[in-house]
Structure 1
Amino acid sequence: MALPLTTLTQKSQYFIWGSQQEEAFQLLKNKLCNAPILALPEGTENFMVYCDASRQGLGCVLMQKGKIIAYAFRQLKIHEKKYTTHDLELGAVIIKC
């Protein structure tokens, strides 16, 4: 989703704002303005961590009773792209700790 924007931050990349960058910017702006409301934790039980990893990024969501408590995501660093799938999944859990 943010790839057209994040590639502009690389040293070897010229900063050219085109239609792909504008579309990604508008999509991100819309997602942030309409983000799901986070809930406060209730007690210390029934927490669930859902994580996902791909060759592009890591993400995780902490939930309790079907409500989102927290979430995090980030792109992979260059050296992480060589990691195995189970290492990436564990990395998705660790990014929130």
Structure 2
Amino acid sequence: PKILSEVRSFLDLAGYYRRFVKGFSIIASLLTKLLKKEVKFTWDDESQENFETLKSLLTQAPILTLPIEGK
């Protein structure tokens, strides 16, 4: 993400899956702070690292399936 609206969109999408990602709120906290009005939007290395970590966890999350009776 390069602009604030892209960060907001990513966090909205990622937030939908937050219960399946361990430590989501801790990882997303820095990105969430960028959304505050009183904070100047600055995309630095730490922001990029948190973004990449969260993106990776979302794509490698456990696969959920319905239970099969008898197994």
With the shorter chain as reference, the TM-score category is 0.5 to 0.7
5+ long unaligned stretches in structure 1: 44-97
Q: What's 2:35 paired with?
A: 9
1:45-75 C-alpha deviation (Å, 9 max, x unpaired)? xxxxxxxxxxxxxxxxxxxxxxxxxxxxxxx
Aligned sequence identity (%): 42
Tell me, which stretches of 5 or more residues in structure 2 are unaligned? 1-26
Q: Distance in 2 between matches of 1:24 and 1:13?
A: 18
- SS state of the match for residue 2, structure 1? helix
- Distance in 2 of aligned mates of 1:24 and 1:14: 18
Q: Distance in 2 between matches of 1:3 and 1:20?
A: 12
Partner of 2:53: 27
Higher-helix-fraction structure: 2
Question: TM-score, normalised to structure 1's length?
Answer: 0.41
List 4+ stretches of structure 1 deviating above 4 A: none
Higher relative contact order (CA 8 A, sep 6+): 2
Closer, same or farther in 2 for the Cα pair 1:40/1:11, shift >3 Å?
Answer: same
Q: Which residue of 2 aligns with 1:36?
A: 62
Residue 44 of structure 2 is matched in structure 1 by 18
Q: Which protein has the bigger strand share? A: 1
